[in-house]
Structure formats: C-alpha cells, structure tokens
Amino acid sequence: MKKVIVQNILDSMSIGLIVVDAKGEIIATNPAASSILGYEQKEIRSKRWAELFLETRENEAFNQILVDVVMGERTGMHQEVPYLTPAGQRLQLSITSSFLHDRQQIVGLVMLIDDITELYRLHQEEKRALEERHRLQHERAVSLNHFAMSVAHQIRNPLMSLGGFLNRIFKNIDQQEPYAAYIVPIMNGMKRLEAIVTAVEEYTSISHPEKTPVLLGEIVDQVRLDLDMKAAALNKRIAWSIQLSANDVSLDYSLFAKALTELLVNALESFTSEEGHIEIVTEREGQDLMIEIRDSGAGIKEEYQPFIFDPFFTTKATGVGMGLSKVKRIIAEQNGKIQVQSSQGSGTKVNISLPIGP
Ligand SMILES: Nc1ncnc2c1ncn2[C@@H]1O[C@H](COP(=O)(O)OP(=O)(O)O)[C@@H](O)[C@H]1O
Ligand SMILES: [Mg+2]
C-alpha cells in the first residue's frame, strides 16, 4: 500500500526525480524526469548516467553536478544549469541534489530537476530590457551634459568680447553723459552671466570619481584654510569644531574637497553676525563614511527647502544657485546620499553618507 502511494506521488510530481546508485547507474526516475530530460522512461532506467549524459559538451555543467555530489562537495545544493536535450532543445534546469542514505551509508544520489526555462528566459529578457533602459538613460544624461557644456562655451565667447568693449566705453565715456549711468548695471549683469557660465562649466565637468586612499584630516585642513580666507574677506570669523573619528578612507580627493567647500561656503554665507560656528563630524558606519556639517547660521525657510538642490535656486542677491546642485551630483556619482535639515533661525545640518573602501 505504502509503495503504491509513493509511486503515485512520484508519477504525478511535476518535478523530475532521478536516483543514481554508487556505481553511477540510474535506479529510479519519475515521468517528469524523463520528459524534462528528453528520454523515454525505460531508456533512462536501463542506462548508466555516463552513457546518457556524458557525451554532449553542452551538458558539462549538468554532468558536473553529479561529479561534485560524488566528490561530496555539493550535496543539498541548489544549482541552475543549462541542458541540451537529445532532440536539440536548450533548457535551463534547476537542480537540487542530496545523498541517499541507508543505515548511515551513502548508497546513491537523489536529484530533483525542475524545468525553469521559461522563467529563466523571462528573467534574461527583463535583465536585457533593464540594461537597455540604463544605457539609454546614461546616453541621454551624457548628451545633455555635452549640450549644456557647449551652450556655456558658446555664451562665454561673445561675453568676453562684450566685456572688453564695455570696459573701453567705461574708461572713455564722459561721466556726465546721461547714458554713463547704465554702464555699471550692465557690467554687473555681465559679471552675473559669467558666474552662471562658470558654474555650468564646473557642473558639467564633474568627472567620474577616481578613488584613492586619503586622509580626511588633510582635506578638511586644506578646505578650512580656504574658508578662513573667504571669511576674512567678508569680515567674518569662523569658530570651528572638528571631530574626525574616521580618517583613512578611499575617496576622490578633489571632488570631495569641492563638495565640502560648497557646503562650508553656504554655512559661512548664512552667518547672521560677525562670528559663527561650524561643526564637522565624521564617523565610519559599516561600509559608509558618515559626515555631518552643522552651522549656527540663519537656517533655511521651510518653503525654500524643497528647492535648495535645484539648479539656479538661490536666495542670495549675488548667488548663482549651483552650489548644492554640484554637491548633489558629486555625492550621487559616488553612490552616496545627502540630506539637509534646517529651520529658520536655528542653523542647518547636512548629513552625507558615502560608500568608502575600494
Ligand atoms: N547652510 C545653509 N544655511 C542657510 N541656507 C542655505 C545653506 N545651504 C544652502 N542654503 C540655501 O540654499 C540655497 C542654494 O544653495 P546653493 O545651491 O549653494 O546656491 P547659492 O549658495 O549660490 O545660493 C541658498 O541660496 C540658500 O538659500
Ligand atoms: Mg552656495
């Protein structure tokens, strides 16, 4: 009775089952196994594994499973391998193998075989479609970058000559002349245009990061010196507090320094009095470097917060609004994340997490 039930179960299973004894002889199969592998049931039973499957080179991976199980290396493992049927059909099989024990002795191998060809094909198709989408997105981003770069170059050339002419007029015009008063605002407008062009050129030339081992302390010291000079030019003073608990990391030195500079310039420009406080803390968290920058400046109005990373968004009279766009791109190029938290009147906190290591 028990035997009948077991036989029924084996016969009705959609997963193929093959039992091979220690000599490599196939001692049991079910209909699903022969139908998946492309043999008649009796054809399979009467043969040794080697006679059936070892001939075709295409089935090397499939045969290797048996070899591996025999060598005791891969029992209970789940593997996916290609398989070529005797009729020439290419399949993808999922195989789970284990030892057959009899009184603690290994007497053979059991292999469960599932035909996952259709699933595999769908996965491959999905993967190809995704890769194609990424390729197109990348191509579009690259061409947009080229376009922005050429527009910036094209504007810069006439701007230079206009500036030259205007300077000459400014030097030679009689200051009593009614139109003389227009020259300074025109010059200011041109300076602003030039700053925009420079910012776009800088943004578009952000290159793919090249990581090298660096000392964070060195970068921070260099950027700090630069910032102290900028502060002095604005008649301001920065009170620093710096805590670097992760120092040896792998980063793109120049890109990181650029991003840090932009963030610290924003902090400095937000000071509401002559002196302000900037705090930099770095820490390692698993595979990430966490950086926190806090300032005691004016903070960001809530209604502006959704736009601060947008190109050309600025609340400053002479600002260009490309600083945070550049920072965001630099961080994104390194697969990192950036978050800004701020409230008006109580300063701003910027958190960055950057994957580090090779
Ligand atoms: N630390 C900060 N404190 C206050 N406001 C900030 C800070 N960082 C950024 N902002 C706000 O975000 C805007 C955009 O910054 P950014 O892209 O660097 O452009 P810009 O500095 O040229 O204005 C700023 O004009 C300012 O309103
Ligand atoms: Mg800025």
Whose alpha carbon is nearest atom 7 of ligand 1?
266
* Residues 212-264 pLDDT 10s: 999 999 999 999 999 999 999 999 999 999 999 988 888 999 999 999 999 99
In the predicted structure, residue 74 carries a pLDDT above the cut 70? no
* Whole-number percent of the chain with pLDDT over 70: 96
The band of 66, judged by pLDDT with boundaries at 50, 70 and 90, is: confident
Q: Considering every ligand atom shown, identify the ligand nearest to the alpha carbon of residue 309 and give its number.
A: 1
In the predicted structure, residue 54 carries a pLDDT above the cut 70? no
Task: Round to whole Å and give the CA distance between 327 and 345.
Answer: 24
Mean pLDDT of 115-119: 95
- What b/e sequence results for 14-25 when a residue is b if at least 16 CB atoms lie within 10 Å of its CB, and e otherwise? eebbbbbeeebb
* Predicted structure pTM score: 0.73
Cα of 250 to ligand 1 centre, how many Å? Answer: 28
Cα of 308 to ligand 1 centre, how many Å? Answer: 6
In the predicted structure, residue 36 carries a pLDDT above the cut 80? yes
In the predicted structure, residue 73 carries a pLDDT above the cut 70? no
* Residues 145-196 pLDDT 10s: 999 999 999 999 999 999 999 999 999 999 898 899 999 999 999 999 999 9
* Residue among 308, 318, 330, 349 to mutate when testing ligand 1 (max atoms within 8 A of CB): 308
Task: Round to whole Å and give the CA distance between 250 and 215.
Answer: 9
Cα of 265 to ligand 1 centre, how many Å? Answer: 9
Q: Ligand 1 pocket, 270 CB below 6 A?
A: yes
CA angle 325, 327, 332 (to 5 degrees): 95
**Three-state DSSP class for residue 339:** strand
The band of 132, judged by pLDDT with boundaries at 50, 70 and 90, is: very high
Cα of 262 to ligand 1 centre, how many Å? Answer: 9
First to last CA, the chain: 63
